[in-house]
Homo-oligomer: A and B are copies of this chain.
Amino acid sequence: MTQTPRPLDTHLLAHDRVYRHLRSRIMYGDLAPGQSLTLRGIGKEFGVSMTPAREAVRRLAAEGALTMSASGRVSTPALSNERIEELAALRALIEVELASRAMPRAHYALIDRLQTINNAVSEAVAHRDAVSYIRSNLEFHRTLYLRAQAPAMLAMAETVWLQLGPTMRALYGRLRRTEPPHFHKLIIAALRAGDEPGLRLAVRTDVTQGLRMLAT
């Protein structure tokens, strides 16, 4: 490692840059479900050839963030209700465990940061900004789970978020809510009180509730 000539963009490898950008877009709901992408289009957009575009796309597809038709056409996935329920259950399982592991290490500074992030969530809800809402909501969860010191579990949770990204966008886009996130307050309260069963319940409910209203 001589010296990276680029202070921004930690990894300067083309395929990684493309991967990260696309991943963000998908996870935070910039792309609607069913939207299709082309390798040449991605390449042109990022100023690279098809090769790194293909690697990024295949990686995303492997993580379930994109689906590939038999002919190799890629598009953002349109999830069935069963799939959504399953992914919600997975979120509940993993994230409850992460929260539980994070709790003993959650100091006041962390809780304050969660509070701050949660204000951003409320603001996004008030402005009906779906992308900001998803982004700050996930940041709230990630900030808490980071304290669990369980990178493999966190990676799994993020993979699930990734798969739900376009769907969440579609969901919150047609949502008329303006009330701030109630269950986040419960999470913070349980954290403050050191109430582990309460924390588990609050996380499970928060994670499950949003997806429940998908049942058509």
Binary contact readout A1-44 vs B (1 if CB under 8 angstroms, 0 otherwise): 10000000000000100000000000000000000000000000
Closest to A84 in B: B152
Q: Contacts A62-B62, A163-B152: A97 and B93 contacting too (C-beta < 8 A)? A: yes
Stretch at the interface among A51-59, A125-133, A187-195, A198-206: A51-59
Q: How large is the interface on A (under 10, 10 to 19, 20 to 34, 35 or more residues)?
A: 20 to 34
With both beta carbons as reference points, the residue of chain B lying nearest to A97 in the complex is identified as B93
Question: Would you call A48 an interface residue if the criterion is a C-beta within 8 Å of the partner chain's C-beta atoms?
Answer: no
Whether, in the assembled complex, A153 has its beta carbon less than 8 Å from a beta carbon of chain B, the answer is yes
Inter-chain contact B64/A62, CB cutoff 8 Å: no
Asked if A83 lies at the interface with its beta carbon under 8 angstroms from chain B, I say: yes
Contacts A1-B70, A93-B97 known; A86 to B153 CB distance under 8 Å? yes
Query: Of B1, B82, B93, B150, which is within 8 A of A94 by CB?
Result: B93
Q: Does A63 sit within 8 A of B, measured CB to CB? A: yes
Q: Contacts A1-B70, A93-B93, A94-B93 hold; do A87 and B152 have CB atoms under 8 A apart?
A: yes
Once bound together, how far apart are the Cα atoms of A198 and B150, in whole Å?
Answer: 28
The CA of A3 and the CA of B23, in the complex, are separated in Å by: 35
A90 touches B (CB below 8 Å): yes
Most buried by B among A51, A97, A152, A153: A152
Within 8 A of B (CB), among A85-105: 86-87, 89-90, 93-94, 97
**Chain B residues in 8 Å Cβ range of A146:** none
**A64: which B residues are within 8 A, CB to CB?**
152, 155
Indicate whether A156 reaches chain B with its CB closer than 8 angstroms: yes
Q: Closest Cβ of chain B: how far from A20's Cβ, in Å?
A: 13
**Complex Cα distance A87/B62, Å?**
19
Given known contacts A55-B58, A83-B151, A90-B153, what 7 new A-B pairs fall within 8 Å (CB)? A15-B58, A54-B55, A64-B152, A82-B149, A90-B152, A90-B156, A93-B93
Enumerate 10 A-B pairs (CB-CB under 8 Å) in ascending A order: A15-B58, A58-B59, A64-B152, A64-B155, A83-B152, A86-B153, A89-B97, A90-B152, A90-B153, A93-B94
